Structure 1
Amino acid sequence: MSRDASELAHRLALAAEAVCRHYLSNGKRDGRYWLVGDVHNTPGRSMFVRLQDSSKGPAGKWTDAATSEHGDLLDVIRESLGLLDFREVAEEARRFLNLPRAEPQSALKSVHPPAPAGSQEAARRLFAISGPIEGTIVETYLHRRGIAHVHHGGSLRFHPRCYYRPDEHLPTETWPAMIACVTDLDGKITGAHRTWLDPLGFDRIRLGKAPIDTPRRAMGDLLGNAVRFGAADDDVLIAGEGIETMLSLRCMLPTLPMAAALSANHLSAIALSSSLRRLYIARDADAAGDAVQAVLLQRAEIAGIEAIPLSPRLGDFNEDLHVFGLDALRAALRIQLAPEDVSRFLLLPATVR
């Protein structure tokens, strides 16, 4: 560790409890330790941070009993905020400690080479440092949109303080966010999608999204790829635009593979597996949805794939689920799906958990 990094770590250790209260706010003090789920600020008790020097070690050191990971408070800042460049970690530590910023010539070197903003590597790192959604604001957000059972199969994660930059002239903000991984047909992560959420609650206008200009943003390589729920190489697939739209359908069809392409244009260009024999197009009820349907019907015909449009009553299937409820959406799907897929995939009321 460099001299500057050692000095910052020492200063943070002198204020260990204040650091924990700020960056690990989902934890709590227990005697001489701060207990939390993990370094990403997940609720729980498996990670403990030493708040005072003792015979067992210095203040500021932490260990995660579940994973055997350990580190200092600079690591806490890096992981809890999802910072990629150690220079950013040092600047955030100096801001917290009210220290002057380092001069450019003495800036700390990155522990890992910085990933270009918006790149595939940046997307992979963001997804890797995010935690499970269970018990977080992500789960609450989805429940309030009518998605009671979130069958995401590991494609969604939670970041408590995900960076949001309004534009290049305004300071960076942090908001809790739902992070979705974008993958290709081989399962390789090529991008990530962020939905920033409002920690103060749910309202009819923003539906739980953060009060910022663009609460949804994608990064990485999106063309042809998608947020996938289930196997990409199955013989049946439902493809649509939004994550919430596909998760709404997963409430009744939890074993049917689905893909959220994130926009109408990307849905038109989604890659289709060579094993696919039936494609359901979960189109939105708008002009863009009409155009997507026409393109995918043509592409499917050329590829020898049966294509069946699925149409919502309102704007999209999440709106249908939220307004009409689970039973009404199930009934609507039952008459739109192929009969063999009804018996194969559709959960009937008596089998719904």
Structure 2
Amino acid sequence: MQSPASQIACRLADNAEGVCRHYLSKGHKEGRYWLVGDVHNTPGRSLYVRLAASPDGRGAAGKWTDAQNGDHGDLLDIIAVARGCRTMRETLDEARRFLSLPIPAPSEDRPVRRTKAPTGTPEAARRLNAAAKPIEGSLVRTYLASRHITNLTGSEALRFHRHCWYRASDEDAPGVRPAWPAMIAAVTDLDGSITGIHRTWLALDGSGKAPVAYPRRAMGHLLGNGVRFGQSGAVMMAGEGIETMLSLRQIIPAMPGIAGLSAAHLAAIRFPAGLKRLYVARDDDPAGAGALTTLTERAIQAGIAVVPLEPRLGDFNDDLVAFGKERLAAILRVQLQPSDAGHFLKHG
């Protein structure tokens, strides 16, 4: 016989879209999924909820996964976070109210089965970063070179872990390896303290990403922080992805940059003191457009000028691989302010 919690979780799964519209209202439906930034209802696309069971039976309706950090759970977890429930009883009562079910008489509370999001504390992130090694001679360099990224000046935030644990998701094939080599990127605040890390799992020979469902995941405190390249200055650039920033630094290596790691986090980055002009390398998708709008509004209030950088393809790493450095330099030259082009641009 199913427990009350399991029964209610099944009822919620049967009405997964309604649950998402109510508790994750800043997301949207896309095909068989509800997409939102995270379990806290941040705008974005990182977290997805299955609205219907997958045809192969491997994924059940109502299950969610955050692609940024690998956290996952069911709709009771979503409700617990949304309403700040402290006990399982509070969570179930809230779910019953949503489902218009009778609420039973009070009984002894049990601790709530807390959602797995967020997992990974800054302390855990710092331990993982310390366990990693410098990237010289590692598979990180092999992988980045396959993406045409070879100049890694100012990339001290990147490290290499030979056997980084990978938690499989419902999307992974049975028997997927539990550990892979990984590129570790330190997420830091404005003071340089590590608040989180980002992992990119790599193929065993470094020729590409590992053949897993979610080869990129982050942990720790990310909001407002990012992966930093170079020292902060009056002119900087920011973007979603690590490889986007590294690709731009192949052409403008002296311009400091910060990778926010997602559209939602890019929109929330904290501005360093003395910043006057920020180039924003947005991804060519709706989330990237939204991040640029939000970041621009915040920057204007802080007296910072924002200049968008538009890739020709999906992102600037796509441009670098497809067109090469000389053509990418030409693409950037017409988008940079003339004074910045003269000072930073090294190609073309």
Q: Shorter-chain TM-score: what band?
A: 0.5 to 0.7
Which TM-score applies when normalising by structure 2? Answer: 0.63
Q: Tell me the CA shift for residue 150 of structure 1.
A: 2.1
Q: Deviations over 1:162-190 (max 9, x none)?
A: 11111599897110000000000111110
Q: Distance in 1 between matches of 2:316 and 2:146?
A: 15
Equivalent residue for 2:178? 173
Preserved contact between residue 152 and residue 247 of structure 1 (Cα < 8 Å): no
Q: Tell me the CA shift for residue 151 of structure 1.
A: 2.7
| Counterpart secondary structure, 2:145 | helix
Is 1:129 aligned to residue 131 of structure 2?
yes
Q: Deviations over 1:270-329 (max 9, x none)?
A: 111231100111001111111111111111111111110000000000000000110010
Equivalent in 186, 191, 194 of residue 189 of structure 1: 194
Q: Distance in 1 between matches of 2:165 and 2:134?
A: 18
Q: Distance in 2 between matches of 1:186 and 1:314?
A: 34
Q: Deviations over 1:103-161 (max 9, x none)?
A: xxxxxxxxxxxxx9511011111111111111111101100111122234311000010
| Counterpart secondary structure, 1:224 | coil
Q: Deviations over 1:217-249 (max 9, x none)?
A: 0000000000000123x1111000000000000
Q: Distance in 1 between matches of 2:204 and 2:331?
A: 34
Could you say which structure has the larger radius of gyration? 1
Q: Distance in 1 between matches of 2:215 and 2:154?
A: 20
1:21-40 paired onto structure 2 within 5 Å: none
Q: Deviations over 1:319-347 (max 9, x none)?
A: 00000110010011111111111122111
Provide the alpha-carbon RMSD of the alignment.
1.9
Q: Distance in 2 between matches of 1:292 and 1:253?
A: 23
- Write the letter of the residue equivalent to 2:265: H
| Counterpart secondary structure, 1:336 | coil
1:234-313 paired onto structure 2 within 5 Å: 234-313=233-312
Q: Deviations over 1:13-34 (max 9, x none)?
A: xxxxxxxxxxxxxxxxxxxxxx
1:1-353 paired onto structure 2 within 5 Å: 118-167=120-169, 173-200=178-205, 202=207, 208-232=208-232, 234-348=233-347
Segment of structure 1 superposing worse, 163-172 or 182-191: 163-172
C-alpha change, 1:172 and 1:220, in structure 2 (3 Å) is farther
| Counterpart secondary structure, 1:127 | helix
Preserved contact between residue 184 and residue 200 of structure 2 (Cα < 8 Å): yes
Q: Distance in 2 between matches of 1:201 and 1:186?
A: 32
Q: Distance in 2 between matches of 1:133 and 1:201?
A: 12
Preserved contact between residue 140 and residue 206 of structure 2 (Cα < 8 Å): no
| Counterpart secondary structure, 1:309 | strand
Preserved contact between residue 133 and residue 139 of structure 1 (Cα < 8 Å): yes
Preserved contact between residue 133 and residue 159 of structure 2 (Cα < 8 Å): yes
Which TM-score applies when normalising by structure 1? Answer: 0.62
Q: Distance in 2 between matches of 1:270 and 1:262?
A: 10
Q: Distance in 2 between matches of 1:152 and 1:217?
A: 23
C-alpha change, 1:316 and 1:171, in structure 2 (3 Å) is closer
Alignment gaps of 5+ in structure 2: 1-117
| Counterpart secondary structure, 1:325 | helix
- Write the letter of the residue equivalent to 2:202: L
Preserved contact between residue 139 and residue 205 of structure 2 (Cα < 8 Å): no
Preserved contact between residue 228 and residue 257 of structure 2 (Cα < 8 Å): yes
C-alpha change, 1:171 and 1:253, in structure 2 (3 Å) is closer
